[in-house]
Amino acid sequence: MSIEIIQKYFSKLDQFRHGLKKYVKNNNEIHVELDDSFQLIEFCEFLKSEIYLKLLTIIYCDERKTNHTFSIRYLLGSDIDDVFLFVIVSIDKKHAYFPSLSDVFPSSTKYEREINDMFGIQSQENSNLKPLILHDFPENLFPLRKDFDANTKLNYTPKKFEFTPVTGDGVCEIPVGPIHAGIIEPGHFRFSVLGERIVNLETRFGYTHKGTEKIAENMSLDDAVFLSERISGDECVANSMAFCQAIEKIAQLEISEKAKQIRLVFAELERIYNHFGTLAGILTDIGFSYDASRLNILKEYMMQLNEKLSGSRILFGINQIGGVKIDMSNESLSEIHSVLNHIFQNFEKILKHIQSNSSVMDRLRNTGIINKKTVRDLGIVGISSICAGIDTDTRKIHPYGYYSSIKFEQTPTENMEQQVKLQKQIGDVLSRFLSRVDELRYSKKLIDSMCNLDDDEICIPLKSELPPFSSGLGYAESHRGETLHWVMMGENNSIFRYKIRTASFANWPIIEHAVLNNIVPDFPVINKSFDFSYSGNDL
């Protein structure tokens, strides 16, 4: 981050109040420490209205051993500048609550529910939040507190989850899940319908909660890379890349250019095979199986390419701290180019066939529309925000790795504003479908632009022990959107706190808005057009 941007932000922060305790860390992180949590709401309102920042996540941390307090970090980000702002507040033990930001940032409610579950600390205004992740969990035990052991054996006692009742003449409830009809992950959806129209949807997740954040605290750094890959299997490259970048930032380790290039190639390959899968899924859900099968063939083709390159069909085991594990030669790069050329030739033909089919287009158009304002309020990222005309591409706004060497002139969203004006990007299933197509083409362009890999080491190992209680933020753009990994180191190179916010966690609330006033049979296609991960949400 350049000095001008820092000065710009510092002078803006001074407008709020002189003498704020602020400092820059890890190149693009501005940390602001507030002494008093009572100013928090006012400060965040200022950040939102004057500096146009949005809430990315809330990181809670049990620092009772070192600072005798819980600390809470509000991570805010900009849509324009490459800057992250941490607002750090301490919560003392006496009053176990913190101010709720839900009036300023509606997206904060979900994070507050998570903190209530995992730390047992409530926000001041919302004292009876519903549980988010833990079901039937014993009372007065909170998994992410330091005095809770990850391997504790617990007696779960069944509890009833109160869904918001929707009443009225002719309103019916349809419960769906956790085990669904298709081959997908578990989650519960409670529809309230009037005739065929959905008047309310309440989601309940947490079924795949595996204690990921907690067990990372007992792992070595190298093992935690494997864990980060298994946050969500289909975005493993993006997640492990973000984790590795966080550690590399803390260690101030600059990885080799070649490692960066290989990471980029694999990240884009991952995006391509997943987008093919999602497009096929959308077509399957509307019963158009001919082109769905065609796209599934392309997906399989991509997975075989993955296997040839890395030994894993879904690209497990690519990243390690300090670089990558899999070396790539220029020959295999040119093989990737030729395979991609074949695949995309077919893809364009399939696409033409889909677009000339009016029954498909009619079904996708105006289905599951999301509102631009809702998208902004809920802090939605990735395709789900691009389809409504808000660009949140991390590769462009916060360039990382080799993306910072690439000029982003022709982004997949370059004509976004115009398309919004032409009513082409209105946040329906069709615009999500077409945004994915744009991203696919763009990913191919990115891989094509890599013609020569540098001749370099692929991994620079960590040398020294990392300073205890230093922290770093890693981020990457998965095919679902921005994934954020914040790591705080403990003593002896252990992990003190590993906070993961995948794109799925940020994005799931939008589904409750997207389905409103649609018919129940359209729910599968709306859900698939977003393609969120359940495992990435529940962790």
232 binds another protein (CB under 8 A): yes
Give the helix, strand, coil percentages of the chain, each rounded to 5: 45, 20, 40
Does 207 bind another protein (CB under 8 A)? Our answer is: yes
Residues in 175-194 that interact with another protein by CB under 8 A: 178-179, 181-186
Sole residue written with tokens 């287009």:
361
Give me the residues paired with residue 340 across strands.
none
Residue length of the chain:
539
**How many whole angstroms separate alpha carbon 39 and alpha carbon 35?**
9
Span near another protein by CB under 8 A; candidates 62-70, 72-80, 201-209, 482-490: 201-209
DSSP state of 203: E
Report the distance separating Cα 505 and Cα 501, nearest Å.
6
Q: Which stretch binds another protein (CB under 8 A): 14-22, 173-181, 264-272, 458-466?
A: 173-181
| Positions in 484-503 near another protein (CB under 8 A) | none
Residues touching another protein: how many (CB under 8 A)? Answer: 75
Name the segment binding another protein (CB under 8 A); options: 129-137, 380-388, 455-463, 476-484: 129-137
User: What is the chain's Cα-based Rg?
Assistant: 23
Which span (16-24, 110-118, 354-362, 382-390) binds another protein, by CB under 8 A?
A: 354-362
263 binds another protein (CB under 8 A): no
Residue ranges in 423-462 that form contacts with another protein under rule CB under 8 A:
none
* Minimum distance, C-beta of residue 65 to another protein, in the bound complex (Å): 20
Q: Where are the alpha helices (DSSP H) in 17-134?
A: 40-50, 64-67, 108-119
Among the residue ranges 423-431, 451-459, 495-503, 527-535, the one whose residues contact another protein (CB under 8 A): 527-535
CA–CA gap between residue 155 and residue 431 (Å, rounded): 47
The answer to whether 267 contacts another protein (rule: CB under 8 A) is no
* Among positions 313, 396, 424, 441, the unique one binding another protein when judged by CB under 8 A: 313
Output 288 or 403, the one with its CB closest to another protein. Answer: 288
Using rule CB under 8 A, residue 399 touches another protein? no
The interface mask with another protein, positions 331-350, x = CB under 8 A, is -----------x--xx--x-
Backbone angles phi, psi at 205, to 5 degrees: -120, -165
Give the full edge-to-edge strand order of the sheet including 53-63.
21-25, 29-34, 84-91, 69-78, 53-63
- Degrees (nearest 5) of the Cα angle 237, 239, 243? 115
Give, as ranges, the residues between 143 and 162 that touch another protein (CB under 8 A): 143, 148-154, 156, 158
Pairing mode of beta strands 84-91, 69-78 = antiparallel
Place of tokens 């990372």: 216
Whose Cβ is closer to another protein: residue 106's or residue 317's?
A: 317
> Should residue 298 be labelled a site residue for another protein when binding is judged by CB under 8 A?
yes
Q: Which stretch binds another protein (CB under 8 A): 135-143, 161-169, 480-488, 512-520?
A: 135-143
Under 8 Å between Cβ of 498 and 474: no
Tokens of 328: 């790539």
Minimum Å gap between C-beta 221 and another protein is 11
